[in-house]
Amino acid sequence: MTSDRMVDRATRPKNTAGNTPAIVQLTLSRFREFYREPEAVFWVFIFPILLAAGLGIAFRNRPAEASHIAVVSSAANNAVVDSLKTAPNVTVDVLDDTAATAALRTGRVALVVIPRADGGVEYRFDEARPESRTARLIVDRAVQHAGGQQDPVRTTDTRVSERGSRYIDFVVPGLLGMNLMGSGIWGIGFAIVDARKKKLLKRLISTPMSRAQYLASFLIFRLSLLVIEVATLIGFGTLVFGVPLRGSFIQLVAICVLSSLAFGGMGLLVASRARTVEGASGLMNLVMMPMWVFSGVFFSSGNFPKVAQPFIQALPLTAVNDALRANMLQGASWNVVGHEIAIIATWLVVCFTLALRLFRWR
């Protein structure tokens, strides 16, 4: 009786209609899981723009700022004050000795000028403060000119502000690199560890699903988001701050795609064994922290000591930031960015190989 039923079952027609390929469904799932999580959308798209805007405003190129100085009031100060009032870019406060010292200490003035009874002038300032050194030079020049000094050499000033050498030009490629790293490592690592913790990975591998297609869906998802991420950040930098795009477009795309895949590989590696989201988060921060600090996102990685440079230059984010800056700011040729591209590609290969070897589905 039961065996008859079995025969019916084995020979009955199988329905193969109405099916979409698994890779399409898997990739669609990645997108749905992403855009149905508003926080993720914020961190990936909005946050880098807010950061770029904030930094762009804070470090915008301003006209030369006036030096604030204090002159200590005394019988002899009138001539000095008069000479300083005609000097360009200097604002003068006339204060008594105590008030002037307090103003210097709190940073309200950069320099305290103390006229002496003998006609000389004393400057009081902190040599470690650049604006104090500048103020001293300006004030001394005005005082000496008032005293009758003549310039032996005639000079002229031509003022320039070049796009590509401002802070915002430096920081936009850095933010782009940081964003590629963050979304690559978080975007892939977090989702996979979460699926493992919820035993969803285990459930998936109990079906005939292709494991390669499952992992590929994350990469396709990453590369699709990449287009939007890069376009928003670069578009914002270019339109609002006039950040230059001097390099070849193909080269920029190649750098971004390669970087995104390399960081995706790192995310996969971090997620290959971790069983809890907390454990994976710690691991991800451990991986990303050195790069946030050393890889030249907000300031040049050249600021770190020479001994640390081989380590810093080997970090993937350093290579990504250098390559992006070389492309966007200098319009570098392939030869110039070849070294960075080789470093990124090495990370990509090493991370993926290790990740696939170590990966646990259960």
Partner 1 sequence: MPAPTPALAVRGLRKAYADVVAVEALDLEVRAGECFGLLGPNGAGKTTTIEICEGLLAPDAGVVEVFGMQWARDGNSLRSRLGIQLQETQLSEKLTVEETVRLFRSFYPAGRTVDEVIGLVQLDEKRKARVGTLSGGQKQRLAVACALVGDPDLLFLDEPTTGLDPQSRRQLWDIIDAFRNEGGTTVLTTHYMDEAERLCDRVAIVDHGRVISLGTPRELIASLGAGHVVEFGVDGSQDIDERTLLSLAGVKSARRSGGRWALQVGAAHETIPLLLAELTERALPLTELSTHSPTLEDVFVTLTGRSLRDDV
CB 295 within 8 A of CB 301: yes
By CB under 8 A, is residue 19 in contact with partner 1?
yes
CB of 208 to partner 1, least distance (A): 4
Size of the site for partner 1 (CB under 8 A): 39
Of residues 205 and 314, the one with the C-beta less far from partner 1 = 205
In sequence order, the 6+-apart residues with CB closer than 8 A to the CB of 23 are: 210, 213, 216, 217, 220
Of residues 217 and 295, the one with the C-beta less far from partner 1 = 217
Enter the tokens of residue 126: 């902190």
By CB under 8 A, is residue 158 in contact with partner 1?
no
By CB under 8 A, is residue 33 in contact with partner 1?
yes
Of residues 195 and 291, the one with the C-beta less far from partner 1 = 195
**Strand order of the sheet with strand 111-115?**
90-95, 67-72, 111-115, 121-124
**From CA 349, how far away is CA 222, in angstroms rounded?**
17
By CB under 8 A, is residue 21 in contact with partner 1?
yes
Of residues 12 and 62, the one with the C-beta less far from partner 1 = 12
Of residues 311 and 361, the one with the C-beta less far from partner 1 = 361
CB 303 within 8 A of CB 309: no
**From CA 304, how far away is CA 295, in angstroms rounded?**
10
CB 104 within 8 A of CB 70: yes
By CB under 8 A, is residue 26 in contact with partner 1?
yes
Kindly identify the residues of this chain, within the stretch 184-223, that bind partner 1 according to CB under 8 A.
195, 198-200, 202-209
Interface mask (CB under 8 A) for partner 1, residues 35-74, using x and -? -xx-------------------------------------
**From CA 257, how far away is CA 240, in angstroms rounded?**
25
SS3 345: helix
CB of 193 to partner 1, least distance (A): 13
By CB under 8 A, is residue 275 in contact with partner 1?
no
Contact region with partner 1 (CB under 8 A), list: 26-34, 57-65, 277-285, 337-345: 26-34
Contact region with partner 1 (CB under 8 A), list: 24-32, 72-80, 101-109, 218-226: 24-32
CB of 197 to partner 1, least distance (A): 9
Chain position carrying tokens 């400057």: 123
Q: How far is CA 151 from CA 80, 155, 157, 165, in A?
A: 20, 9, 15, 32
By CB under 8 A, is residue 11 in contact with partner 1?
no
Of residues 32 and 246, the one with the C-beta less far from partner 1 = 32
- Residue 35, Cα to own-chain centre: how many angstroms? 24
Of residues 10 and 64, the one with the C-beta less far from partner 1 = 10
Of residues 108 and 273, the one with the C-beta less far from partner 1 = 273
Helical (H) or strand (E) element with 230? helix 211-241
Q: Which of 29, 74, 77, 330 binds partner 1 (CB under 8 A)?
A: 29
In sequence order, the 6+-apart residues with CB closer than 8 A to the CB of 88 are: none
Among candidates 273, 275, 270, which has minimal Cα distance to 181? 270
Backbone phi, then psi, for 150, in 5-degree steps?
-110, 145
Applying CB under 8 A, the residues found at the interface with partner 1 are: 1-3, 5-6, 8-10, 14-22, 24-26, 28-29, 32-33, 36-37, 195, 198-200, 202-209, 362
